Structure 1
Amino acid sequence: MTHDFTPGLRSRKGRPSMTPQQQALTDELSRRAAQLWADSDGELSITEAVELAAFQIGTKTAQTITESRSEA
């Protein structure tokens, strides 16, 4: 099952703007968390889904950085 998640408009009143890279990361985290939560059939809370998605993104980023350094 694919969960179609599109981030909605955000209220930024009183908050600093995010860089395009931060916004892209936020959107990816939201998309992954929503997908994990939908696929879990109630076994994950939304908080757990966000934590798992953040872990996956961090692991993927760390692996990419390590691979790039080893290729140099």
Structure 2
Amino acid sequence: MSGHFQPSRRCRKGRPQLAPEAQAVADELSRRAAQMWAESGGELSIAEAVEIAAFRMGAELPQTGTESAVES
């Protein structure tokens, strides 16, 4: 491993484009995962870094739905 992971924009020819909001989330996830992976010094795989970053991002996003409905 070279230790210099850089997320790159892949050619998306033939793939549907993401909505701008979804692309922004994907870009942020990629950025956070790459940073976490680099800071781990080899302790995390990139897949683990993506999983942790996604979990943290989900925990940071405002929750919508049935939270108040459960409190009856």
RMSD: 2.4
Counting matched residue pairs gives 62
1:1-72 pair list within 5 angstroms: 8-61=8-61, 64-65=62-63
Question: What secondary structure does 2:13 align onto?
Answer: coil
When the two structures are superposed, what TM-score results if normalisation uses the length of structure 1?
A: 0.73
Between the aligned residues of both structures, percent identity stands at: 61
Structure ranking higher in helix proportion: 1
Q: Which sections of structure 2, spanning at least 5 residues, go unmatched?
A: none
TM normalised by structure 2 equals 0.73
Runs of 4+ in 1 over 6 A off after TM superposition: none
